[in-house]
Amino acid sequence: MKGTRERILDKAEKLFALKGYENVSVREITKLVKCNPALINYYFQSKRNLYTAVFKERVIPRAKRIHKRFFSLVEKNYPSSPEKVIEYLTDAFFKSPLSKKELHIHFFLIAREIFSQSEVWELFIKDAANLLFSKLTSILKTFYPDANEKELVLFVFSIFFQIVHFNIGKENFSKFLNIDDKNELIKVLSSHIIKFSVSGLNSLKGDID
């Protein structure tokens, strides 16, 4: 059975993902947990610290699990083309070790931070995203050696945000595309991301710093 601190994190994470940090109150969290509001201060000192704890203890570890799958695919069979790089990345996210429920919470929290970009977003970039982005940029650089470094980094961010967007909207895309089969949908979305991204990346050929 989970302790009170873990249950607070569980409910807070869901509420922050659903409503956003500013629209969630301490009382709302503790009502769901069925505990005294003073316990937020006892365990976390403030709502802001609780929000930070959600990222440190939940979001960042989850992100690292997804990124680990990408790193493993690269290590097992080093990509022979830009298409393969992005295929590995989409595979890591679309076939992640996280449950559907975890993925929804995870990507909604990230999406909210993309727009608000608080100090928690900086923490996420430093502790989770930087390693993935650096690895991606390094691999893609081998296929586009003359590319402007800043342009390449922007493409890496663009690819990442595409994947976040399509992960969040998978159910809607399933309806719009009239695709009920999960594996077929993932295949179609991954193919689109790969084609769209490589088309953009190919514009970097011959781009001199």
Question: pLDDT tens track of the chain, all 209 residues?
Answer: 679 999 999 999 999 999 999 999 999 999 999 999 999 999 999 999 999 999 999 999 999 999 999 999 999 999 999 999 999 999 999 888 888 788 889 989 998 998 888 899 999 999 999 999 999 999 999 999 999 889 999 999 999 889 888 887 888 898 999 999 989 999 999 999 999 999 999 998 754 44
Q: Which CATH number do you get for residue 165?
A: 1.10.357.10
Q: Which domain holds residue 61?
A: 55-204
Residue 131 lies in a domain: yes
Residue 33 lies in a domain: no
Whole-structure pTM value: 0.85
Neighbours of 124 (CB within 10 A): 22
Residue 37 lies in a domain: no
Residue 26 lies in a domain: no
Q: What does the block give as tokens for 35?
A: 């505990």
Residue 36 lies in a domain: no
Residue 30 lies in a domain: no
* Torsion angle of the four alpha carbons 198, 73, 191, 59, in this order, in degrees rounded to the nearest 10: -100
Residue 83 lies in a domain: yes
End-to-end CA distance of the chain: 57
Distance CA 43, CA 38 (A): 9
Distance CA 65, CA 96 (A): 8
Q: Which long-range contacts (CB under 8 A, 24 or more apart) does 77-83 make?
A: 79/139, 81/143, 82/140, 82/143, 82/144, 82/197, 82/198, 82/201, 83/194, 83/198
Q: What does the block give as tokens for 69?
A: 């799958």
Domain total of the chain: 1
Residue 24 lies in a domain: no
